[in-house]
Structure 1
Amino acid sequence: MLVIVSPQEDIYVAVRPGAQAGMQLPEAFYAELAEAADEGRPVPPWFVDAARQAWQIDLTGQPAGSVVSVRSRSVGPVTYSRASWEINKGCNFSCEHCYLEQRPFAGLPLAEKLRLVDMLQAMGVLWFQITGGEPLIDADFPPSYERAHDAGMMVEILTNGSRLARPALIEMFSARRPHKITVSMYGASPETADALTQTRGAFKSAYRGLLAAAEAGLPVEVTIIVTKHNVDELDAMRALVDELGLPRNEYGSISPTYTGNGSPLETQASGYLDKSAIFAGCPAGHTSFHVDPHGLTTMCKVGRDNPINLITEGPQGLLRLPAIADAQMLRTGGCSGCKLSSTCRVCRPMARVYQEAKAPLETYCQHGERKAS
């Protein structure tokens, strides 16, 4: 499908995988597109004009059902718009900075994975991120991805890129285009990338994956992971990505593991911790949630208190999630009574992880900055 039209909480949107532009639709226009798709009628002229303007595509005369995926309104007790899923924590890299302290290769059987995706669709999830571990090493990734794509989800895959050059994956992503494939880059040379990932051949396999994806015209974005081990190659990493003609961003805010192990902080590059944005609240647990490889659902990847088993309880269990999320947003421990709370730049679940890891204040808190000045 070229375009996805979907309810999104109390509005209706039209989006296209791989494109930043989208549009909000009146309910009557949503209903008209749904009827056109069901009845085999062409795309309405007003939507032909809108699609041409938003995405530079021509839908003139096309049967609506062949080019527009019209998602039904969510059913059941809860409605969510976003979800992330660790399909498997297993990984073929052993990165020093990883926020997962342990990476066992385990998860749901395929039938349960597919049932999970179906439940997410029924709850209204449109924006769907599949991560790991390394998701592309899971044998059930292809059918799970295809199920999510065919359900009309805007799928993003977070990957190290090491398997991305495989012809079967390139063919699948070309036939069923994801919204985005985000590939992490760990160095501009084999020596640096292989050392940080503690994996021989990591740079070669990841770069081969980027080349294959770029040649196939897939919607790839590169995230340059900045650490003390590769900061000297930052300009070279930028140049590599630019040569491929791919968009890029940089991430240098290394955190402890979500279980409170501070060892990843040892890889932090001085001066690359992003603390610029003031934390103004988060809808996690209310409009979005995270699912681990076994179907345990939490407010996000960091705040994993009181998980709800989505497989055994179903969507009904998520009625408890907003209250669980709100409890994790309270200022506790070292943050109770903080006079800088109105300008704090760290969410509560993440601050607690730093505190449990006994991390130095300057790695996450403005108090540390003041003492250093």
Structure 2
Amino acid sequence: MHDVIASPFLEQYVLVRPGSRGGALLPEARYEELRAFDPAEPAPPWLVEAVREQWDDLDITGRILADFLLVRRPSQWGYGKASYEINLGCNYNCKHCYLGLKVQSGMPWEDKRRCLDIMGEAGVLFLQMTGGEPTIDRDFLRAYRHAWQLGMMITVSTNASLLWRENLLRTFKECPPYRVTVSMYGATKASYDELTQRAGAWDQFVQGMNAARHARLPLRMSIVVTDDNGHEEQAMVDLCKTWGVEYEVFTNMTPTIYGGGEVLTAQSKGHLRLRKAFTGCNAGHTFFHMDPHGLVSICKIGRDDQISLPHEGIQGLARLGEIADRLMLRTGGCSGCTLSGSCRVCRPLAKHYQEAKAPLAAYCQHGQKKAG
């Protein structure tokens, strides 16, 4: 078990702590010094001071390095972040869900573990574990622990319905997550159960949130505003403030990963907001996404030309950058667009909207101008 991690991260070196949002940059020389140290040696004075400055509740004075420090190895692959969709199954059936069919399937444990090992070898420091609902997966706990032991800073994306379970809370206490991001679907039982299409979902949500707050998990709320709960947007915000939980509001619905438009009917037109201009991203270059079957794509949206990590191994990632560059080209219905420089969605997301035959105003400036 480790309290502190020293790790390469993209083109830098960092000192981070599980369960903490804080961190510090490390000069390369200090990182290499830690790599060369005998784990049985006590912490050098400069490290004691650096840890004290960043985390005043953690004193490593006199402690040997092996007792608290994990030093991650450099990676030639240059991936700092990844997301892992451990299962598409869910105990809710939300009207707006971009996953479409929620199929309960995935890899056997040995393949899951191997894929996590490959992620670690690829340099992934920050890992998002998601679903579906990740906590219902039979291998969630050991996958979480394995990733944590590899020195990953883990964000769990959940609906909070199971956060009251003792085995989950015990795991999170022993292996603190970087963040627990909870989706919020209403401020009352009526709206919450209606959107999730599960009787009793609100009660599970409240029970999970009470347990998570009592355990002082590093919570962040994603407030999802739809046609069913739009009238409760302020009430959801107020509840987050009452709980002392930071939050972000999401109002724009997207098609399913299969290009289905049925979920767009959940959109609250009165809450539709203009997205910020898309200025590019590093999907496929410093970040990647893996689905329940070990198929790697540039992100959760751009799932074309997937790479099978269980079959190709880490060498398969060598093709991901070229795939990303190709998927980001303005092709198809976006070819030759004169407004592409200020577009508000990436090309893979625009493709999903086009496949779903969504109204142009939902994603394109041309449609927004006509609507205005």
Q: Is the 8 A contact 2:106 2:292 kept in 1?
A: yes
Q: Matched residues in 1 for 2:184 and 2:299: separation?
A: 24
Q: Distance in 2 between matches of 1:347 and 1:55?
A: 39
Q: CA deviation at 1:11?
A: 2.1
The amino acid that maps onto 1:51 is V
Residues 17 and 180 of structure 1 are in contact (CA less than 8 Å); yes or no, is this contact kept in structure 2?
no
Equivalent residue for 2:214?
Answer: 215
Q: Distance in 1 between matches of 2:127 and 2:201?
A: 27
Q: Match for residue 126 of structure 2? A: 127
* Cα distance in 2 for residues equivalent to 1:246 and 1:173: 18
1:167-214 residue CA offsets vs partner (Å, 9 max, x unmatched): 110011011001011111101111111110001111111111111011
What amino acid is aligned across from residue 127 of structure 2 in structure 1? F
Per-residue deviation, residues 42-90 of structure 1 (Å, max 9, x unmatched)? 2222222222222333332232222222111126xx3311111111111
1:314-369 Cα offsets, whole Å, 9 max, x none, are 01111111111111101012211112111111111001101111111211112222
State TM-score, norm by structure 1. 0.95
Other-structure match for 1:325: 324
Corresponding residue for residue 56 of structure 1: 56
Equivalent residue, structure 2, for 1:46: 46
1:282-329 CA deviation, whole Å, 9 max, x = no partner? 111111111111111111111011111100110111111111111110
Secondary structure, counterpart of 1:72 in structure 2: coil
How far has the Cα of 1:246 moved from its partner? 1.5
Alignment-mate amino acid for residue 9 of structure 1: L
Partner of 1:265: 264
Does residue 35 (structure 1) correspond to residue 12 (structure 2)? The answer is no
For the residues of structure 2 that align with 1:245 and 1:66, how far apart are their CA atoms?
33
Counterpart CA distance in 1 for 2:136 and 2:118 is 24
Deviations 1:1-38 (A, max 9, x none): 222110123321112233333222112101222334x3
**Partner residue, 2:91:** 92
Assess if the C-alpha contact under 8 Å between 1:33 and 1:44 holds in 2.
Answer: no
Is the 1:33–1:43 contact (alpha carbons within 8 Å) kept by the matching residues of 2?
Answer: no
Deviation (angstroms), 1:274: 4.2
Match for 1:23: what amino acid?
A
Once the two structures are overlaid, the 10-residue window that deviates more, 17-26 or 228-237, is 17-26
For structure 2, the 5+ residue unaligned runs are none
Distance in 2 (CA, whole Å) between partners of 1:171 and 1:62 is 25
Match of 2:146 in 1: 147
Question: Please, what TM-score do these two structures have when normalized by structure 2?
Answer: 0.96
CA distance in 1, matches of 2:117, 2:166: 27
- Quote the Cα distance in structure 2 between the aligned partners of 1:279 and 1:271: 23
Q: Aligned AA for 1:102?
A: L
Match runs of 1:265-344 below 5 Å: 265-344=264-343
Separation of aligned partners in 2, 1:217 and 1:242: 15
The alignment status of 1:118 with 2:117, answered yes or no, reads yes
Q: Which amino acid aligns with 1:14?
A: L
- Cα distance between partner residues in 1 of 2:21 and 2:298: 26
Contact 1:211 1:244 in 2 (8 A): no
Residue equivalent to 2:11: 10
Identity score, percent: 48
Q: Which runs of 5+ in 1 are unaligned?
A: none
Tell me the SS of whatever aligns to 1:222.
strand
CA offset at residue 109 of structure 1? Answer: 0.6
18-27 or 321-330: bigger deviation: 18-27
CA contact (8 A) 1:90 1:103 kept: yes
Mapped partners of 2:347, 2:48: distance in 1: 45
What is the CA–CA distance in structure 2 between the aligned matches of 1:41 and 1:191, rounded to whole Å? 59
The answer for the alignment partner of 1:253 in structure 2 is 252
Secondary structure of the equivalent of 1:314? helix
Alignment of 1:167-186 (within 5 A): 167-186=166-185
CA contact (8 A) 1:131 1:157 kept: yes
SS for the counterpart of 1:337 is: coil
Q: 1:270 to 1:280 in 2, by over 3 A?
A: same
Cα RMSD of the aligned pairs, angstroms, is 1.5
